[in-house]
A and B are shown apart, each in its own frame.
Chain A
Amino acid sequence: MTQTPIEVKLGGGAPAAARRRRKKLTLDKASFMVVFLGVPLLIYVVFVISPFAQAVWYSLTNWSGFSPKMTFIGLDNYVKLFQDDIFLKAVRNSVILGIFLPLVTIVLSLILASVVTIGGSSRGQIKGLRGSSFYRVVSFFPYVIPAVAIGIIWLMVYDPSSGPLNGILTGIGLKGFASYPWLGDPRTALIASMFVIVWSFVGFYMILFIAAIKGIPAETFEAARIDGAGRFRTLVSITIPLIRDNIQTAYIYMGIAALDAFIYMSVLNSGGGPGNSTLVMSQRLFTTAFTKGQFGLACAMGVVLAAVTLVFAGLVFLVNRLTGGSKEAS
C-alpha cells in the first residue's frame, strides 16, 4: 500500500525495466552506484544528519565542550531554559517575528502581485499592468543581496545623526527626529528591524505570487468577468482561493526565515538591542555556545528552535486545512 507510490515516485516510471537491469550487476554498474550514491550521501550524513542527531543527545548533557566530561542530566537543560528570563525574552521576540513577519510580508507581496496582474484593462483580453517588468526586476533584487550587506545598509540608513531617514524626517519639518535612535530605542528597535527583513523578502514572494496568478487559466477570469465580478471581487473570490497552496508554502518558508533572523538581528543590534528588545533565539544560542561555551545548553536551545519551527509549519497546515484548503496541500 505505501510501497506503490514510492516506486512511482522514485522509479522513473519503469520498475519492470529497472528490475531487469538490476540482475546483471557488473563492475561498471556496481562502481557507478557506490560512487554516485555513496560519496554524496557520506558527506551529507556526516555533516548534516549526524550533527542534528548529536545535538539532541548533547542537549541532555551538561557538556561544556572542551572537557571530556559529559554527564547525562536528562531534561535539566530544558528546565533551566524555561527559568532563564533572557532566553524567554528571546523566545517571545522570535514568536513575534514568526507571527508578524510572514503576515506582513505575504499581505504586502500579494498586494503588489495582484496590482501587477490585475492592473490592466478590464475589457478585452485579460492582461497585466503595462510596463510591470521593471517593477519586478527592481523588487526582486534585495532577495539576492547578502543579508549582512542589507543589515549594514539599513544600519546606516537608521543612523541617528548621519542617516538619511532622520535627514528626510527633519527635512519635512519633524524636528523631533533630529537624532532619533531607531535601533537604540526599545519602542522602535524591533519594528525597525522587522521592516528590514520585510524589505528584503517582499520582492521574492511578489514574483512567486505573480507566477502563481499567471498559472490560473485566463478562462476562469473571463468567466468571472462575464458574471459581473469587479477587480476586487475577482481577487478575493477567484485569485486568492486558487493560489492558496502557494500562499501556504510561502507562509512556511517565510516563517522559517523569520524564526531564524540571525543575520539581520545580529548585524542591526549585535548585543540584542536595548533591553534585549531585539534578541532572538538564534542569537542567544550562538552566544551561549561560542562565547560562554555551554554547549549542552545551546543544543537544548537548538532543539527548542527546531520544535518551534515544526509547530509553526504544522499550524500553517492545520489552519489551511481547517479553512477549506485543498486536501493534497501537504
Chain B
Amino acid sequence: MSLKLSKKAQVPAGHVERTAQTTKSDKTVAGISHVILAFWSLLVILPLLWTVLSSFKTSSEIFASPFSLPANWSFTNYVTAWAQAGIGSYFINTIIVVGCALVIVMVLGAMCAYVLARYVFPGSRLIYYLMLAGLTFPIFLAIVPLFFILKNIGLLNTLPGLIIVYVAFALPFTVFFLFSFFKALPGEIAEAAQIDGAGEWRTFFQVMLPMARPGLASVAIFNFLGLWNQYLIPVAINTNHDHWVLSQGIAAFAGQQGYAVDFGSLFAAVVITVIPVFIAYLLFQRQLQGSVSQGTSK
C-alpha cells in the first residue's frame, strides 16, 4: 500500500513549476510546505510500515534488530495469531456484532430521524435534547449502571447484549446526521406518494429511504469505524472469553506479552485488526473526507 502511495507522492515533489507567474518566494514557500507535510506523512507511515514488516519476522529477529528484513517472508505469524491466539474467533465475533448492530442502528436511526424531521408533535423537542445528552456525556458515566441493567435482563456477556448496547450508543449520532438529511429531502415527494395511495410505511421504505441513500452511506461508514474500534463497552459488559471482540482480544494479547513473548504474532494480530478499516478507508476515503467537511459547515 505505502509503496504505491509513496510513488504518487514523488510526482508532485519532482514537479517543475511551469507557470510564468511563479515567483521565487512562491517556490520557497511551496518547498517548505512540502517538507513539513512530507515529514508528518512519514511520521504516520513509518510506524505502520514497520508494524507490517515486523509481522513477518520471528520473535528472535525482532529482538535482534528493529530494522532488519525477515529472513523468509511467511505467513506463519498470521496463522499462529488467527488459530492459536484466538484472533480468528474474535474476528468472527466482531463481524457478527458490528454487522448486526450496524444494520439495526441504520434502520432504527433512519426511522427515528425521519419522524423527527417530517412531523411536529408534542415532545419532539425533548427527544432532541435527550439525543444531545447522549452525545455529550461520557460513556463512563453510564458504564456501571449499564452493567447491571444487562445483568438484570440476562444479556450480560452475550453477543445480543453487546449488539443492543452498540445500537443504543450509536443512535444519537445516526439520528442527528440523518435528521438534517431527511430535512433536506423535498416533502412534496412524500405527499405525492401518499396521494397515489401509499401508506406511511410504504412511503418511508419505498420512496423516502431510497432517496436518502447518500446520507445513509456516510453515516454507515462512520458507524462501522466507530463500532469496529469500540473498546470500553466490550471490556465492561462482554467479559466472557468466547464472546470477545477483536479490540479486547488484541489488548489482552498485548497485555500477556510480558509472560509469553510472541511479538511476531502480536504484530500480525494488529495487522489483521487494521485490515478491514484500511479497506473501508481506501474504498470510501472520498466520502469520509466529504462528510467531515459537511459536518463542520453546519
Rounded to whole angstroms, the CA-CA distance of A48 and B277 in the bound complex is 27
Q: Interface with A: B71-79, B81-89, B247-255, which one?
A: B247-255
Q: Is A74 an interface residue (CB 8 A)?
A: no
Q: How far is the CB of B266 from chain A (nearest CB, A)?
A: 7
- Asked if A131 is an interface residue, CB under 8 A from chain B, the answer is yes
Q: Is A6 a contact partner of B251 (Cβ separation < 8 A)?
A: no
Asked if B259 CB lies within 8 Å of chain A CBs, one says no
Residue ID in chain B nearest A166 by CB atoms:
B66
CB-based contact B40/A135 at 8 Å: yes
CB distance B142 to A52 under 8 Å? yes
Query: Smallest CB–CB gap between B10 and chain A, Å?
Result: 9
Contact status A131-B250, CB under 8 Å: no
What is the number of residues of chain B that contact chain A, defined by CB distance less than 8 Å?
A: 117
Stretch of A80-88, A136-144, A178-186, A318-326 contacting B (4+ beta carbons < 8 Å): A136-144
Which single member of B30, B167, B247 contacts A129 (CB below 8 Å)?
B30
Contact A36 B112 (CB under 8 A): yes
Per the bound structure, the CA–CA distance linking A32 and B47 in Å amounts to 51
B8 adjacent to A134 (CB under 8 Å): yes
Are A156 and B140 closer than 8 Å at their CB atoms? no
In the complex, what residues of A have CB within 8 A of residue B172's CB?
A: 44, 48
- Is A18 among interface residues, defined by CB-CB distance under 8 A? yes
B137 → chain A, closest Cβ, in Å? 5
Do residues A157 and B236 form an inter-chain contact, with CB atoms below 8 A?
A: no
A231 pairs with B117, CB closer than 8 A: no
A156 pairs with B247, CB closer than 8 A: no
Q: Flag if B292 contacts A207 (CB, 8 Å).
A: yes
How many pairs, one residue from A and one from B, have CB atoms within 8 Å of each other in the complex? Answer: 334
Cα of A148 to Cα of B38 in the assembled complex, Å: 26
| CB of B87 to closest CB in A, whole Å | 12
Scan residues 162-207 of chain B and give those whose CB is less than 8 A from a CB of chain A: 164-165, 167-169, 171-172, 175, 183, 187, 191, 199-201, 204
Write the residues of chain B forming the contact surface with A, with a CB cutoff of 8 angstroms: 5, 8-9, 11-13, 15, 17, 19, 21-23, 25-26, 29-30, 32-34, 36-38, 40-41, 43-48, 50-51, 54, 62-63, 65-67, 108-109, 111-112, 114-121, 124-125, 127-128, 130-131, 133-134, 136-138, 140-149, 164-165, 167-169, 171-172, 175, 183, 187, 191, 199-201, 204, 225, 228-229, 231-232, 235-236, 246-248, 250-251, 254-255, 263, 266-267, 270, 273-274, 277-278, 280-281, 285, 288-289, 292-293, 296-297
Shortest beta-carbon contacts, A-B, top 10: A131-B12, A211-B293, A119-B33, A47-B168, A51-B142, A32-B200, A54-B145, A51-B145, A123-B21, A302-B141
Interface residues of A (CB under 8 A from B): 6-7, 9-15, 17-19, 21-22, 28-29, 31-33, 35-37, 39-41, 43-52, 54-55, 58, 65, 111-112, 115-116, 119-124, 129-132, 134-142, 144-149, 151-157, 161-164, 167, 199, 202-204, 207-208, 210-212, 214-215, 231, 246, 249, 256, 259-260, 262-263, 266-267, 270, 282, 285-286, 289-290, 295, 298-299, 301-303, 305-306, 309-310, 313
